[in-house]
Amino acid sequence: MVRASLGGAAARANRFSAEPRAAADARAHRGAHWHAGVMRVVDLERAVRTVRDHCGGVEGVPRVVASGNFASPVALLHALLAELPSVRLHALNAQPDLRLHEGVVPETTFVGPGFRRHPRLSYVPSRLSMVPRLFHGPLAPDVVVVHTTLPRDGQVSLGLEVNVLPAAIEAARARGALVLAQLNPRMPWTFGDAVLQVEDIDLGVEVDAALTTHTAGVPGDDARLIGSRVAAEIGDGATLQAGIGEVPDATIAGVLERRGLRIWTEMFSDGVLTLEKAGALDRGTPVRTSFVFGSQELYDWVDDNPRVQMLRTETTNAPSRIAAQPSMTSINTALQVDLFDQANASRIKARIHSGFGGQTDFTVGASHSPGGRAFMALRSWHPKANVSTIVPLVDEPVTSFQHGAVVTEQGVAWMWGRDEREQARNLIDHAAHPSVRDDLREEARGLGLA
């Protein structure tokens, strides 16, 4: 449901203005370089008209940067895109609920299911930590659309997703671009870099919309075994990169008896709440992340919880900041790992499937952390493709390399500090599926690794 709120939300904050329509329309027609200096709450029609007029003055195809992952401002975005005949839409890990007409070029540095295999996809390779810099250069935004809370005390919160959005807003402010917010009363209020001043937003549209939630399934046998092997290597006081999926969930289930654990991650899901309930987390250290996705119970926990600090991507994914965390333990996955400990997590048959994401950042950062380790965790056999995930040599661009260990349901293959022949031998003997070990040994001889 979309509600115009020239009275509703504006009455809840004294730093908005509700200009007469004629004045507002006149301002909108002045083009790209106007700023009210205070957020105006308008109806959807007014917001769409303002964006359309603004983009009409943009040279070339306008670029809209929007919240991605599971916090996209879908109602506002759909209305805006429908009125822009030609536009580049930049969103990280876009989901299938975004409707893209023929004039939309989906643009991203990390491909989600909503953009994957799209015929007009514009994929920009970049480590996630570097994406914010793109907005001040080659990917400068003309419009930024974010999904926030309702305002309070002259501020709004980005809620479930901070990520690269502060950088996009700053780039927009610097070049006279527009910033719009979908103001949702259901969005949790989170702290840290999530908090924005209303002066940083030009227009707000109040939309009462349910948030996307996720209910984790029960990890399968292979995932539980992989998770238990990783968990056995995590001690008290370690810092975790806690993602989403079967293996992270299974790993967390194996560390519930640990104490003093810390979280430094680009995203987390309900596993962190499980650790909190078990008393495994260090209550004196903030839980730090860049976006959150999970159950409604998780959203209720992060709402107005000062222990959860939402940080911008430049911070969470900076290898130097990751390396500064004690016993930093990163857990990532891949489509393939070869006998040189090179991982492909991005491409299938040369076509982009996802992207670098934060894997490179966290692999490097954890490897430099005192007592830290970077684990590559995956099944030894790909069930859908019916092939081994341990291969002689990856035939796709490499996403990451030099891991601490590669972990499968078969065992733990230690990599760090071993020479290349021992690495290959460990992968074959402890990580590869038994049915391909002889073939891999033969290939290893051909590669000079045996």
Instruction: Return the CATH number at 155.
Output: 3.40.1080.10
Q: Is residue 400 part of a domain?
A: yes
Query: Is the pTM for the entire model greater than 0.75?
Result: yes
What is the pairing mode between strands 267-268 and 291-292?
A: parallel
* Residues 282-306, mean pLDDT to the nearest whole number: 97
157 pairs with which residues across the strands?
195
Handedness of CA 161, 165, 166, 172 (dihedral sign): negative
Among the candidates 172, 207, 242, a domain finishes at: 207
pLDDT of residue 433: 98
The angle formed by the CA atoms of residues 87, 92 and 98, to the nearest 5 degrees, is 55
Q: Is residue 214 part of a domain?
A: no
On whether the CB atoms of residues 307 and 351 are closer than 8 A, the answer is no
Q: Is residue 171 part of a domain?
A: yes
163 pairs with which residues across the strands?
312
Q: Is residue 366 part of a domain?
A: yes
Q: Is residue 212 part of a domain?
A: no
Is 396 designated active site?
A: no
| 57-76: pLDDT as tens digits | 999 999 999 999 999 999 99
Among the candidates 160, 176, 207, a domain finishes at: 207
| 220-273: pLDDT as tens digits | 999 999 999 999 999 999 999 977 788 888 999 999 999 999 999 999 999 999
pLDDT averaged over the chain? 91
Q: How many domains does the chain have?
A: 2
Residues 324 and 245 in one domain: yes
Backbone angles phi, psi at 107, to 5 degrees: -125, 135
Least confident interval from 18-32, 46-60, 125-139, 169-183: 18-32
Residues 184 and 228 in one domain: no
Structural domain boundaries enclosing 263: 221-446
Is residue 32 scored above 70 in pLDDT?
A: no
Instruction: Return the CATH number at 307.
Output: 3.40.1080.20
Q: What is the rounded end-to-end Cα distance, in angstroms, of the chain?
A: 64
Residues 226 and 202 in one domain: no
On whether the CB atoms of residues 415 and 423 are closer than 8 A, the answer is yes
* Residues 94-99, mean pLDDT to the nearest whole number: 91
Residue 170, token pair as written in the block: 């700053």
Residues 232 and 203 in one domain: no
Residue 356, token pair as written in the block: 């670098």
Residues 110 and 236 in one domain: no
Three-state SS string over the chain comes to CEECCCCHHHHCCCCCCCCCHHHHHHHHCCCCCCCCCCCEECCHHHHHHHHHHHHHCCCCCCEEEECCCCCCCHHHHHHHHHCCCCEEEECCCCCCCCCCCCCEEEEECCCCCCCCCCCCCEECCCCHHHHHHHCCCCCCCCEEEEEECCCECCEEECCCECECHHHHHHHHHHHCCEEEEEECCCCCCCEECCEEEHHHCCEEEEECCCCCCCCCCCCCHHHHHHHHHHHCCCCCCCEECCCCCHHHHHHHHCCCCCCCEEEECCEECHHHHHHHHHCCECCCCCEEECEECCCHHHHHHHCCCCCEEECEHHHHCCHHHHHCCCCEEEEECCCEEECCCEEECCEECCEECCCCCCHHHHHHHHHHCCCCEEEEECCCEECCCCEECEECCCCCCCCEECCCEEEECCEEEECCCCCHHHHHHHHHHHHCCHHHHHHHHHHHHHCCCC
Residue in 266, 314, 409, 443 annotated catalytic: 266
Among the candidates 179, 207, 235, a domain finishes at: 207
**Higher pLDDT among residues 233 and 20, named by residue:** 233
Residues 94 and 235 in one domain: no
99 pairs with which residues across the strands?
none
